[in-house]
Structure 1
Amino acid sequence: MRGRSGMGGGDIRLAPLLGAYLGYLGFDVLVVGWFLGFLFGALQGVPTMLVRRSGWATRIPFGPFMFLGAWVSVWAGHAIGDLYLRLTLGG
């Protein structure tokens, strides 16, 4: 991690690679993978910060959550994107 805030160097190098691959599969796959990475990270990070009572100073690797979001998106990104559009736009 550089300084006291922000993503670490590995996360910064990993994000464009995953984004390029998911973008190649489709925009909906890219958006679903991006969203799921942050969602999985939050689902792990928020309870971890509460249990440790350390707040924003807690360092949590984000790479595994990016990989998990990308993996789920590769296999189900189109279906999740279609479901989201049907539920929000009613189509």
Structure 2
Amino acid sequence: MTATAAQPLLVAAFGLLGLLTSPLAELLIARSLPRLGGLPSPRIRITTAVVTAVLFGFLTLRFGFAPALPAYLLLAVMAVQLSRVDVAHHLLPNPLILLLLAAGIVLLFMSAVLAPDWSALLRAAAGGVILFLGYLILGLISPGGLGMGDVKLAAPLGMYLGYLGWSQVFYGGLLSFVVGGVMTVLVLRLKRGIKPSEVAHGPAMFAAAIGVVLLIA
């Protein structure tokens, strides 16, 4: 079977993996962080599973069997789960951000060893620092616009973007505010009586980062 012919099977297999990984992630989060109120509703669990499966499929198309694929699959899982938590609780829990960062370091290090591509690993570290500092400055200037959870989340996202290139760091950081602005307008139109500062920014950061990962080679 040729690589081209096997590609749909590969995408389907990883999509199924995403479908199974999502409920497992929710179970682990519910057990480790009971303050979040346990498992979400069945409707939300089905939605997160489908979104995770779709992201797994697209990321498989993007990376194939490249050593970096596991790191970006982890990013997809955590993006969906942290977005869910942020929308429901306006909170980005430190343990989940730390997991995304620590596991990302390990997986990207392994990718750099197998590739090998040490410059990408150094760029990932620099990208994490740069995006974190940029968000920190904006958070201090406008504390009502960005929460400290958003600032902390910028570090692992900058790392994942930096591993791929400087263009990804630039566009990922810039587009997060564009996507955030669009999402804020939509939420304000759908839900009257809330303030712009009450709209979760984490989902926009993840949407921009994963969009850049998928679309900018």
| Counterparts of 1:61 and 1:77, CA distance in 2 | 25
Deviation of 1:53 after TM superposition, in Å, equals 5.3
Given the two structures, how large is their TM-score scaled by the length of structure 1?
0.66
CA contact (8 A) 2:183 2:204 kept: no
Q: 1:28 aligns with which of 167, 180, 185?
A: 167
Letter in 2 for 1:47: L
| Counterparts of 1:27 and 1:38, CA distance in 2 | 18
Q: Which structure 2 residues correspond to residues 1-91 of structure 1 after superposition, within 5 A? A: 5-50=144-189, 52=192, 54-56=194-196, 58-78=197-217
Deviation of 1:55 after TM superposition, in Å, equals 5.0
Letter in 2 for 1:21: Y
CA contact (8 A) 1:7 1:62 kept: yes
| Counterparts of 1:37 and 1:73, CA distance in 2 | 10
Letter in 1 for 2:209: A
| Counterparts of 2:184 and 2:193, CA distance in 1 | 12
Runs of 4+ with deviation above 3 angstroms: 53-56
Given the two structures, how large is their TM-score scaled by the length of structure 2?
0.31
| Counterparts of 1:26 and 1:34, CA distance in 2 | 13
For the residue of structure 1 that corresponds to 2:146, the secondary structure is: coil
| Counterparts of 2:145 and 2:184, CA distance in 1 | 14
| Counterparts of 2:201 and 2:185, CA distance in 1 | 13
Q: Which has the higher contact order (CA 8 A, sep 6+)?
A: 1
**Higher-Rg member (1/2):** 2
Gaps of 5+ in 2: 1-89, 91-142
Deviation of 1:45 after TM superposition, in Å, equals 0.4
Deviations 1:19-70 (A, max 9, x none): 12211211111112112211111111023335525554x4111111111111
| Counterparts of 1:71 and 1:11, CA distance in 2 | 16
Letter in 2 for 1:67: F
For the residue of structure 1 that corresponds to 2:158, the secondary structure is: helix
Gaps of 5+ in 1: 79-91
